[in-house]
Amino acid sequence: MNMTESITFTVQPGGYLQGQMRVPGDKSISHRSIMLGSIAEGVTHITGFLEGEDALATLRAFQAMGVQIEGPDKGVVTIHGVGLGGLQAPKEPIYLGNSGTSMRLLSGLLAGQKFDSVLTGDKSLSSRPMRRVLNPLSCMGAKIEATAEGTAPLHIQGQGLLQGAHYDMPIASAQVKSCLLLAGLYASGETSVAEPAPTRDHTERMLAGFSYPVRQKANLVTITGQGRLAATDIDVPGDISSAAFFLVGASIAKNSDLTLQHVGINPTRTGIIDILKLMGANIELLNQRLVGGEPVADIRVQSADLQGIVIPEELVPLAIDEFPVIFIAAACAQGKTILTGAEELRVKESDRIQVMADGLQVLGVDAQPTDDGMVVQGGEISGGEVISHGDHRIAMAFAIAGLKATGHVVIRDCANVNTSFPGFVAMTQRLGLDIVSEG
């Protein structure tokens, strides 16, 4: 049986969210901590590591290339770094499950090795576009073969040394930027990337944390290749993408009062907070501080009457992963919410525009997909059965919709929730959502 089809969530209508919680560690930071810790010199200690399938796929990839990694044990990982030139050829293709971040970032890092490698993934990952990284990598001298459709498996011929290059990104993408910066570690001269709009900057921050110089000026990021990374200690903050479900849930459910502890509030990731505040959400940032170069805060959210808005396009890259649950907020708001400039959502783990529109319509919501977004007319959410298409964020978004539904909501195909949020069901039950998982 296909495990991605074997888990079903059933949510009873109503409830509210109250209490305090710490969401799992940030997935983006967890990925990068393994990658950079593995090619650093010395021992890197990580706390708060996300033990989800995506981040574990990255961890296993580096173990397959000869890196000694202890853990994870309750979020604690110890990496014995091998230096920039110390990775070894994997004995078989590296399987990355559903993790697009792993595949896109590793394609850059592996292009500059002296050995050949193959990256594979599950059915969903094998349908996702990879030319967006393969084309600029080829300008650096990388030799990577994909399918005729530009998808995995990726056959990477190790070049040993790439050539530094400048790349103007046509679409804002942190994964493309990070891929090229990692390739730039193995390139002669400078590698620079210009962004059309700000994207998450965890790679730049973490490179600096590993004592690797990074130059940033306006929308341009530049590194010089063939340096060295020095091991460091990393405390991974809670993932704001996971917190997003509770920010929306506590906003839409009456009598909610919830505090999310130790959440990363990197300014390239806080679009979800900005959008919800524009809709009238009652959100406070408490105890703001810096942890390992990343801004962190406790976030308190209370019930609010949300209003439909036209979402500013400049906020779209800063909330790109959170739109499934933002659509739920829009469905519960008074009036119309309009999203444009988000065509990137069509090439995520699923076509998130179409899948969310289909599910919302099943639940009685007027949701009209467009090429680059959606128009949602707020109103009542009824019960019904929706399909997540194996997309973890779709599944969790519709679970949160149960807080405002008039009937029970059944969500099929939910196994991939474990890619980013292991323990989601138990945690939401504890806070007040009436949800069960079967299968």
What is the set of active-site residues?
Answer: 321
- Rounded CA-CA distance 67/80 in Å is 7
Q: Which two tokens stand for residue 117?
A: 């490698």
Strand, coil or helix: 191 = strand
What is the CA 300 to chain-centroid distance, rounded? 22
- Rounded CA-CA distance 132/326 in Å is 26
Closest-CA residue to 250 (of 181, 314, 325, 178): 325
In this structure, are strands 435-438 and 8-11 parallel, antiparallel, or unpaired? antiparallel
- Compute CA distances 204 → 47, 184, 213, 316, 408, whole Å: 20, 12, 9, 21, 44
β-strand partners of 216: 221
Within a 13 Å sphere around the CA of 24, how many CA atoms are in the beta-carbon half? 27
SS (H, E, C) 231-293: CCEEECCECHHHHHHHHHHHHHCCCCEEEEEEEECCCCCCHHHHHHHHCCCEEEEEEEEEECC
In this structure, are strands 215-217 and 220-224 parallel, antiparallel, or unpaired? antiparallel
In this structure, are strands 154-157 and 117-120 parallel, antiparallel, or unpaired? antiparallel
- Compute CA distances 175 → 207, 240, 323, 376, whole Å: 15, 17, 18, 29
- Rounded CA-CA distance 60/50 in Å is 14
The DSSP symbol for 25 reads B
- Rounded CA-CA distance 420/359 in Å is 21
- Rounded CA-CA distance 355/365 in Å is 13
